[in-house]
Amino acid sequence: MLTPFGSNRLKVIKRGALLAAVFLLAAMLAVPWDLEISQVVRKTKIPGDLRRFIYLMEIFAHTLGCILILGTLLWIDEKNRKKIWNASMFVLFCGILANLAKYVIPRNRPSTFDLEPWNLLNPDRDPQAKAISSWEIWGQPFTQSWFDESVRSFPSGHAATAVAMAIGLTYVYPKGKPLFLLMASLAALQRLVVGAHYLSDILVSFALTILVAFAWGTLPDSDKIADQGEVELNTEQPSI
């Protein structure tokens, strides 16, 4: 059972539900300003080494990077192999769910607007051109090609995978929680910096992954079930 936040299930559920609600509320507040937030973040000058470090954190959210990390742990950590496998399945499920959600409602990625005459990132920007609002970057559900990545901004598959990695690895290695959360946060920031996603895309992905973690945590723990069965068998008194 995936319970990385503690053993008190009721307390964990309440805390996590509140956290998911906060992320969803923050996403709704960010939607009207997504374009502006994206441009501010991307125009902010980040020192070279720090920027490169942020870019490298994509490995914590990219499919191949996650396979490399989890595959290495499965190979070298025999003691926790079952937990690592469970965490891997959790990460895989969250990534697939987020990517499937992309095909429901099309949304243009921030980078697709770089050549627009009103865009602040366009070196040939026309100051007289009318800018569009953040409400105009959405498309009609199920109207765009499944293979057009330029309109697959919502939600962020990378962010969902990064948070799933943080939760899954915390489940296996609780002491590493601060490091895993930092790596997930930097991986999400990388998606903002490169213009791949808006802030609301990332916040919704956070909430989605947390909700999946709750559902995952309600599944029976096969190890505990087996242990309880073994105890019951060992404590049975022979009939006379």
Q: Distance between CA atoms of 177 and 173, rounded to whole angstroms? A: 7
Q: How far is CA 207 from CA 86, 88, 218, in A?
A: 20, 19, 17
Mean pLDDT of the chain: 85
The total number of residues shown for the chain amounts to 240
Cβ(197)–Cβ(27) under 8 Å? no
Over 50: is that where the pLDDT of 12 sits? yes
Residue 44, SS3 per DSSP:
coil
pTM of the model: 0.84
Backbone angles phi, psi at 236, to 5 degrees: -65, 135
Looking at the domain 9-220, which fold is it? Vanadium-containing Chloroperoxidase; domain 1 (1.20.144)
Cα distances (Å, whole numbers) of residue 17 to 5, 119, 179, 215, 229: 13, 38, 23, 11, 32
Using CA atoms, how far apart are residues 141 and 103, in angstroms rounded to an integer?
8
Please give the average per-residue pLDDT across 7-31, as a whole number: 83
Confidence of residue 91 (pLDDT cuts 50, 70, 90): very high
